């Protein structure tokens, strides 16, 4: 389902979260959990998270290539 612009994906942990939430600590790019993490640590999380996303895409491509399309 196409969610509105209120649903965002956290850059650091990849979690989907609602933004803005009244009284919530979440920011435009980070969920509430990750805003509690120091900025330097969050940077590392972001790096790892983008690598995971890359690997997931790669894996999906490989799976599409090796698995015959469902009939």
What residues make contact with Zn ion under the rule CB under 5 A?
10, 12-13, 15, 31, 33-34
User: Least Å distance between CB 37 and Zn ion?
Assistant: 8
- For 5, 55, 59, 67, 69, the CA distances from 27, given in Å and listed in that order, are 13, 26, 30, 39, 40
User: Least Å distance between CB 32 and Zn ion?
Assistant: 8
Q: Are 11 and 30 in contact (CB under 8 A)?
A: yes
Return the number of the residue (29 or 66) whose C-beta is nearest Zn ion. 29
Return the number of the residue (35 or 64) whose C-beta is nearest Zn ion. 35
């Amino acid at each position: 389902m196409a969610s509105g612009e209120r649903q965002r994906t956290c850059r650091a942990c990849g979690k989907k979260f609602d933004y803005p939430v009244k009284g919530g600590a979440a920011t435009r790019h980070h969920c509430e959990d990750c805003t509690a993490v120091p900025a330097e640590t969050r940077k590392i999380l972001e790096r790892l998270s983008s690598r995971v996303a890359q690997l997931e895409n790669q894996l999906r491509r490989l799976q599409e290539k090796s698995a015959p399309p469902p009939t």
